[in-house]
């Protein structure tokens, strides 16, 4: 997949239109993990806009986002940066192979290193 | 059979780039009734109109079809041209091949095909057109201005200066509006009351202006030139003729716990009150919900202390019915409610305030006598934070999608005034964009930064949290430095979005004036008719039409006045001749049409008719063409099909349907 | 979209009131918001001018869909016209459905003078619905057919 396609994929998974962003920075102003992130939430939106997905995929922000969705809640333009981060994270996880797991497989795979937020956000996404 | 001429406009390239106009001309030549067809680059130009004149003479045309822009744009132009050529103006029809065709389609073949069909429908209609004569209606030489803020006051003064009677209806106890609540005005920093009060006095003293305060519009009937309006003068419980405005009643009133609306609820007032010292009229009102006399029957202190004997507990609402030729809406604005914005802690902390509240705090007549202090503990703030765009530019259903326009400038004003009066106070402004288009506006904002040392930070605030030490923790972005800012502030001021005053919806409905999704009144044309409502005889003044600052409001108020004067100066208006007309032989006098007529234009008459040789007296519907507005509700209701609408007759519309479906 | 001989091109009649919806259609035009050329607009003074007879006539003459647009309830230029239109169309459309004209072929929509976007969206949706329903064969005038 080209970089463009990755960006499209992220938009598709998240259902977010990054062009609605008016660059007010409220997402970054709201973010409780801001200091831990290398790419800040508002930058995430412009990275997806410009298709710089490699940097995003390599960013540690993916694993620092708490999926608290404060940015989603407070964004005045309905851009939902948190959902973009979620989508990018999901993309990276899928790239590593094996999109879906059966419930039986999970216990064996759980380890200390597994980021808690991944479970939380997966639960949020698939709870229905 | 009609002799129809078809004229296809290129509109430069607006039409010709997408529609093959030559082909439209060729196709139209084959249509029944068409004996002439041509195209021209600009039909609306003088030369284009001459084409119509020449063709009417040369080909003895009886009807004209112009394929051009929307009839809302140039129908009147082409009707006048036809009239000049000696045709009845109502023998002209427009095929809208610009807005409804060339501008929305890209493919030439497809657009041309559609243009041909639209032109064909217009030709089919003209084939059935009949000459119509416009009637006349009178103009009542009196204007009504709804709203007594700076917009309404200015409009009223301008109309009255031209010599026409004006009534202002204001729902609060005094005229003055939002501007009377402001402390200083940008970009000159002159005192708001100092420039507004003389205007209020001028309006009140003007012999042609009559002011109804504490009054509301109850009902509007009629139409342009001849509106009839019911005005409800709410019971003041004080006799305006007797009251001297001494103010003793307000001093002695024992009920002093009502929130002071004029000070945005930041302090309290007595149950009998005038909203502010310079109120016009200077006659108090008894707030019956708060008055002890009205609640329990015991008290009557105001009546005892009033030397003039002006207190009248038995006063009732009074309905005044008046006729007007023109109505100007100047209902103004309010700030939005902040219940959806919990992150700014407005409802949790007294020290988080809106800019309009700060305006009252800064005012010498305000709740703190003009001292800048925290409302929670009365302490002087050291660190102040201003947050821009609170509820403005939001597309997330919590706020308003538009820019409120005035906030950037009033925040610069507030910041500057605070730094000037209290140099030890640090002021930080969180902004998304600073928008200062206007004469001397950007210079004003730059002065705030360069001369007064106001700290502007590009980025929005995400959260304001009250801290146990009484301060407010402000968490915001600094996008230029790419960092998150945590700041302890003593006071936070929210540049709250403005929205049209809530009562405007009811008023717009009464006037049948259109309103947009944000409750702003719609103008007849966004660029060329910005102070007129699409409803004839209704004009727009001030923020009811869209966000504006004071100079713009005053300018628009003057413009609305000129438009109203232009209408009032006419002795007669020509009326729309497209009115309903009954077929006397088909009418059975059932009254159904009169039941649906919104204008009471239909009456019944016992009339002798000759129905195919049978002479008898029948009850027959009569349409008063001066009252009929031509909606056509009666035509569909009529069970015998006797009622038809001139200019939009059943046969004409069916001919259009047939032409489209052919 | 280029013309294609085989493609189904529905005939759609849109009745628009002069004060709101026709102006809304004009706004869609001046904002260059496209919708299919299959839609042809007939201007009426008010939605209440539309006689059920006109709609029956359109179907008789081969229309595949008819849409009626008026001012929003409460905003009618003539105060109450759109309420009459709403009631009449509710009755007419249920009768048409009884006669076999699918509900999707008829529609009433409120479009204000400021809603160019809504006008264009509505027309796009409506044409899409008619395209999926295919040609209307129920009410055609058989007398005219060979």
Q: Indicate the pLDDT class of residue A3, thresholds 50, 70 and 90.
A: low
Tell me which chain C residues have a C-beta less than 8 angstroms from the C-beta of B107: 1-3, 37
B46: which residues sit within 8 A by CB, 6+ positions away? Answer: none
Q: Total structural domains in chain A?
A: 1
Closest-CA distance, B493 to chain A, in angstroms, reads 17
Domains and CATH numbers, chain B: 4-126 (3.40.50), 142-234+317-332+501-568 (3.50.50.60), 248-305 (no CATH), 335-499 (3.50.50.60), 580-645 (3.30.70.3270)
From B516's Cα to the closest Cα of chain A, the distance in A is: 20
* Residue range C12-144, CATH number: 3.40.50
CA quadruple B253, B258, B260, B266: dihedral sign: positive
**Would you state the pLDDT for residue B176?**
96
Residue B72 to residue C48, Cβ atoms within 8 A: no
Q: Enumerate the residues of chain C whose CB falls inside 8 A of the CB of residue B661.
A: 11, 13, 58, 61-63
pLDDT tens-digit series, residues B73-115: 899 999 999 999 999 999 999 999 999 999 999 999 999 999 9
Closest alpha carbon to B179 in B188, B169, B191: B191
So what's the pLDDT on residue A6?
84
Beta bridge pairs of residue A70: none
CA distance A29 to B619: 76
Report residue C77's pLDDT band, with 50, 70 and 90 as the boundaries. confident
Chain B residues lying within 8 Å of C25, measured CB to CB: 99-100
Cβ distance of A26 and B394 shorter than 8 Å: no
Residue C28, both tokens: 């869609």
pLDDT at B599 over 70: yes
Which residues in chain A have their CB less than 8 angstroms from residue B389's CB?
24, 76
Note the pLDDT of residue C146: 45
What is the per-residue pLDDT for A2?
59
Return the residue of B nearest to A31 by Cα. B462
End-to-end CA gap in chain A: 30
pLDDT band of C4, cuts 50, 70, 90: low
Instruction: Tell whether the model's pLDDT for residue C117 goes beyond 50.
Output: yes
CA–CA min distance A107, chain B (Å): 38
**What is the DSSP secondary-structure string of chain A?**
--HHHHHHHHHHHHT--GGG-----HHHHH-TTGGG-SS-HHHHHHHHHHT-HHHHHH-THHHH-----HHHHH-TT---HHHHHHHHHHHHHHHTS-----GGGHHHH--TTS-HHHHHHHHHHH--
Give the least confident one: A92-106, B491-505, B549-563, C121-135: A92-106
Residues B151 and B541 sit within 8 Å (Cβ to Cβ) = yes
pLDDT at residue A99, as a whole number: 57
Chain centre distance of CA A60: 11
Is residue B126 within 8 A of residue B657, CB to CB? The reply is no
Confidence band of A127 (pLDDT split at 50, 70, 90): low
Quote the tokens at residue B482: 């790419």
d(CA B208, CA B168): 11
Q: How far is A97 from chain B (nearest CA, A)?
A: 35
Name the pLDDT band for A128 (thresholds 50, 70, 90).
very low
The radius of gyration computed from the CA coordinates of chain B, to the nearest angstrom, equals 31
- Per-residue confidence (pLDDT) for residue C1, from 0 to 100: 47
- Cβ neighbors of B164 (< 8 A, separation 6 or more) are B141, B142, B143, B208, B565, B568
Mark which residues 70-109 of C lie under 8 Å from B by CB: 71, 74-81, 84, 88
Could you give the count of Cα atoms lying within 13 Å of B116 in the half-sphere of its Cβ? Answer: 19
Question: What is the C-alpha to C-alpha distance for residues B569 and B136, in angstroms, rounded to an integer?
Answer: 15
Is the CB of B395 inside 8 Å of chain C's CB atoms? no
Chains C and A touch (3+ CB pairs under 8 A): no
Q: What is the mean pLDDT of residues B620-626?
A: 89
CA of B394, closest CA in chain A: separation in Å? 5
CB contact under 8 A, B395 and A76: yes
Secondary structure of residue B165 in the 3-state scheme: strand
Question: Which residues are bridge partners to B493 per DSSP?
Answer: B353, B386
C137 pLDDT higher than 90: no
Mean confidence (pLDDT) of chain B = 94
d(CA B485, CA B473): 10
Contact by Cβ (8 Å): B200, B153: yes
pLDDT given for residue B624 in this prediction:
87
Residues whose CB is less than 8 angstroms from the CB of residue B403 and which lie 6 or more positions away in sequence, other chains included? B389, B392, B393, B435, B547
The CATH number of residue A113's host domain is 1.10.1060
Structure tokens given for B596: 């649906």
User: Tokens 């009768």 appear where?
Assistant: C95
Interval B301-325 mean pLDDT: 96
pLDDT of the residue at C142 = 65
Q: How far apart are CA C96 and CA C94, in angstroms?
A: 5
> For residue range B557-595, what is the model confidence (pLDDT) as tens digits?
999 999 999 999 999 998 889 999 999 999 999 999 999
Q: What percent of chain C has pLDDT over 70?
A: 92
Inter-chain CB proximity C77 and B535 less than 8 Å: yes
Which structural domain range is residue A60 located in? 3-126
Q: What is the mean pLDDT of residues B644-651?
A: 95
Distance from CA of B547 to the nearest CA of A (A): 19
> For residues C72 and C57, what is the distance between their CA atoms, to the nearest angstrom?
26
Question: Among residues C120, C110, C109, which one has the least CA distance to residue C76?
Answer: C110
Q: Residue C113 pLDDT > 90, yes or no?
A: no
Chains meeting B at 3+ CB pairs closer than 8 A? A, C
CB C119 within 8 A of CB C30: no
> What is the per-residue pLDDT for B136?
85
Whole-angstrom distance, CA of residue B527 vs CA of residue C7: 41
| Interatomic CA distance for residues B484 and B473, integer angstroms | 13
**Shortest Cα distance, chain A CAs vs residue B459, angstroms:** 5
Interface test with A, best of B477, B481, B495 (most A CBs within 10 A): B477
Distance CA B350, CA B493 (A): 11
Chain C residues in contact with B597 (beta carbon < 8 A): none
Which residues of chain C are within 8 Å of residue B631 when distances are taken between CB atoms?
45-46, 48-49, 77-78, 81
pLDDT tens, residue by residue, B338-360: 999 999 999 999 999 999 999 99
Report whether pLDDT(B519) > 50. Answer: yes
Q: Would you state the pLDDT for residue B509?
A: 85
CA-CA distance, B463 to B447, in Å (whole number)? Answer: 29
Where does residue A122 rank: exposed (0-12), middle (13-18), buried (19+ CB within 10 A)? middle
Say yes or no for a CB contact (<8 Å) between B396 and A77.
yes
Strand order, beta sheet including B215-223: B215-223, B226-233, B318-324
Chain C adjacent subunits, 3+ CB pairs under 8 A = B
Chain B's closest residue to C119, CA to CA, is B100
- Give the alpha-carbon dihedral of C108, C113, C117, C123, to 10 degrees: 30
Concatenate the DSSP letters of all residues of B427-439 into one string: EEEEES-----ST
CA distance B284 to B270: 10
Q: Which of C34, C45, C74 sits opposite B630 (nearest CB)?
A: C45
Please provide the DSSP assignment of B208-220 as one string: TEEEE-SEEEEEE
Other C-beta atoms lying within 10 Å of the C-beta of residue B601: 21
Q: Are B209 and B170 in contact (CB under 8 A)?
A: no
Cβ contacts (< 8 Å) between B460 and chain A: which residues? Answer: 24-26, 29, 76
User: Is the pLDDT assigned to residue B123 strictly greater than 70?
Assistant: yes
At A95, the pLDDT band (50, 70, 90 cuts) reads confident
Q: Quote the CA–CA distance of B539 and B209 in Å, as a whole number.
A: 18
- What is the arithmetic mean of pLDDT over A114-126? 72
Round to whole Å and give the CA distance between B273 and B258.
10
| Partner-chain contact B396 A29, CB within 8 Å | no
pTM listed for this prediction? 0.81
Q: Do A42 and B484 touch (CB under 8 A)?
A: no
- Write down the H helix ranges in B100-238: 108-126, 150-161, 192-205
**Residue B590: left (phi > 0), alpha (psi -120 to 50), or beta?**
alpha
Residues B531-549, mean pLDDT to the nearest whole number: 94
To the nearest whole percent, how much of chain B has pLDDT over 90?
90
Residues 222-251 of B with CB under 8 A from C: none
Q: Is C40 on the interface with B (CB under 8 A)?
A: yes
Q: From B390, which residue of chain A is nearest by alpha-carbon distance?
A: A76
User: What dihedral angle (degrees, nearest 10) is formed by the CA atoms of A29, A33, A37, A42?
Assistant: -30
Going from N- to C-terminal start, the domains of chain C cover 12-144
Q: Does B465 touch chain C (CB under 8 A)?
A: no
Q: How far is A86 from chain B (nearest CA, A)?
A: 20
Distance from the Cα of residue C24 to its chain's centroid: 14
Three-class secondary structure of residue B660 per DSSP: helix
Closest CA to B581 of B602, B599, B612: B602
Has residue C3 got a pLDDT over 90?
no
pLDDT attached to residue B24: 96
For the ranges A18-27, B395-404, B511-520, the lowest mean pLDDT is seen at: B511-520
Q: What is the pLDDT of residues B2-15, one digit of tens each?
A: 999 999 999 999 99
């Amino acid at each position: 997949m080209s970089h463009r396609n990755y960006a499209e994929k992220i938009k598709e998974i998240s259902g977010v239109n990054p062009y609605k962003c008016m660059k007010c920075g409220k997402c970054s102003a709201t973010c409780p993990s801001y200091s831990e992130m290398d790419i800040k939430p508002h930058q995430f939106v412009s990275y997806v806009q410009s298709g710089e997905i490699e940097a995003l995929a390599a960013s540690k922000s993916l694993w620092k986002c708490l999926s608290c969705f404060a940015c989603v809640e407070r964004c005045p333009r309905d851009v939902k940066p948190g959902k973009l981060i979620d989508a990018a994270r999901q993309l990276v996880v899928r790239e590593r192979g094996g999109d879906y797991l059966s419930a039986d497989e999970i216990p064996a795979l759980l380890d200390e290193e597994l980021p808690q937020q991944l479970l939380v956000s997966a639960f949020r996404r698939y709870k229905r | 059979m009609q002799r129809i001429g078809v004229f296809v406009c290129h509109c430069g390239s607006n039409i010709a780039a997408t529609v093959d106009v030559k082909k439209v001309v060729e196709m139209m030549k084959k249509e029944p009734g068409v004996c002439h067809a041509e195209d021209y680059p600009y039909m609306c130009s003088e030369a284009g109109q001459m084409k119509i004149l020449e063709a009417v003479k040369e080909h003895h045309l009886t009807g004209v079809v112009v394929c051009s822009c929307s009839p809302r744009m140039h129908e009147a132009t082409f009707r006048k041209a036809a009239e000049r050529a000696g045709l009845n103006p109502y023998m002209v029809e427009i095929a809208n091949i610009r807005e409804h065709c060339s501008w929305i389609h890209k493919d030439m073949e497809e657009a041309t095909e559609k243009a041909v069909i639209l032109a064909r429908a217009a030709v089919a209609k003209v084939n059935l057109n009949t000459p119509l004569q416009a009637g006349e209606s009178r103009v009542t030489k009196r204007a009504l201005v709804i709203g007594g803020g700076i917009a309404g006051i200015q409009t009223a003064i301008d109309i009255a200066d031209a010599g026409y009677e004006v009534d202002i209806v204001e729902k609060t106890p005094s005229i003055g509006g939002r501007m009377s609540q402001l402390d200083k005005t940008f970009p000159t920093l002159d005192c708001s009351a100092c420039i507004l009060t003389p205007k209020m006095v001028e309006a009140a003293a003007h012999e042609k202006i009559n002011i109804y305060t504490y009054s509301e519009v109850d009902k509007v009937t009629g139409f342009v030139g001849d509106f009839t309006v019911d005005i409800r003068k709410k019971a003041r419980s004080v006799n305006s003729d007797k009251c001297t405005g001494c103010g003793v009643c307000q001093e002695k009133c024992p009920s002093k716990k009502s929130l002071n609306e004029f000070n945005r609820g930041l302090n309290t007032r007595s149950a009998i009150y005038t909203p502010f010292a310079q109120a016009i009229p200077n006659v108090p009102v008894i707030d019956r919900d708060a008055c002890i006399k009205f609640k329990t029957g015991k008290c009557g202190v105001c009546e005892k202390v009033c030397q003039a004997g002006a207190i009248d507990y038995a006063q009732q609402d009074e309905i005044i019915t008046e006729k007007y030729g023109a109505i100007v809406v100047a209902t103004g604005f309010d700030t939005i409610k902040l219940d959806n914005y919990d992150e700014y802690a407005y409802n949790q902390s007294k020290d988080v305030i809106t800019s309009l509240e700060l305006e009252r705090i800064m005012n010498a007549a305000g709740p703190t006598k003009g001292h800048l202090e925290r409302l929670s503990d009365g302490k002087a703030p050291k660190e102040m934070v201003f947050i821009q765009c609170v509820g403005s530019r939001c597309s997330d259903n919590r706020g308003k999608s538009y820019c409120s326009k005035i906030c950037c400038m009033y925040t610069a004003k507030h910041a500057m005034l605070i730094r000037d009066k209290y140099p030890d106070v640090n002021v930080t402004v969180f902004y998304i964009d600073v928008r200062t288009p206007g004469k001397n506006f950007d210079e004003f904002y730059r002065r705030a930064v360069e001369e007064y040392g106001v700290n502007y930070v590009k980025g929005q605030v995400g959260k304001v949290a009250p801290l146990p030490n009484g301060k407010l923790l402000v968490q915001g972005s600094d996008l230029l430095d790419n960092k998150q800012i945590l700041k302890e502030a003593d006071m936070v001021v929210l540049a709250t979005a403005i929205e049209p005053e809530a009562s405007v919806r009811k008023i717009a409905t009464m006037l049948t004036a259109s309103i947009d999704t944000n409750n702003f009144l719609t103008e007849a044309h966004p660029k060329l008719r910005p102070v007129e409502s699409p409803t004839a005889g209704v004009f727009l003044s001030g923020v009811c039409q869209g966000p504006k600052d004071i100079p713009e409001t005053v300018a628009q108020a003057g413009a609305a006045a000129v438009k109203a004067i232009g209408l009032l100066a006419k002795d007669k208006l020509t009326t729309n001749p497209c009115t309903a007309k009954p077929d006397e032989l088909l009418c059975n006098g059932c009254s159904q049409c009169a039941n649906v007529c919104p204008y009471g234009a239909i009456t019944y008459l016992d009339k002798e008719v000759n129905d195919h040789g049978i002479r008898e007296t029948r009850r027959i519907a009569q349409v008063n063409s001066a009252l009929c507005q031509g909606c056509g509700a009666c035509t569909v209701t009529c069970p015998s099909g006797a009622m038809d609408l001139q200019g939009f007759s059943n046969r004409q519309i069916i001919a259009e349907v047939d032409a489209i479906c052919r | 979209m280029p013309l294609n001989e085989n493609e189904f091109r529905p005939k759609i009649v849109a009745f628009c009131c002069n004060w709101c919806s026709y102006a809304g259609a004009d706004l869609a035009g001046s904002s260059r918001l496209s919708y299919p050329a299959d839609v042809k607009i007939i201007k009426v003074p008010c939605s209440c001018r539309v006689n059920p007879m006109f709609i029956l006539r359109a179907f008789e003459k081969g229309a595949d869909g008819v849409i009626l647009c008026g001012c929003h309830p409460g905003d009618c230029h003539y105060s109450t016209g759109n309420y009459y239109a709403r009631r009449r169309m509710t009755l007419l459309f249920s009768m048409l459905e009884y006669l076999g004209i699918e509900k999707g072929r008829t529609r009433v929509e409120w479009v204000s003078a400021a809603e160019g976007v809504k006008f264009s969206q509505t027309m796009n949706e409506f044409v899409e619905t008619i395209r999926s329903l295919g040609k209307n064969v129920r009410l055609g005038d058989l007398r005219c057919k060979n």
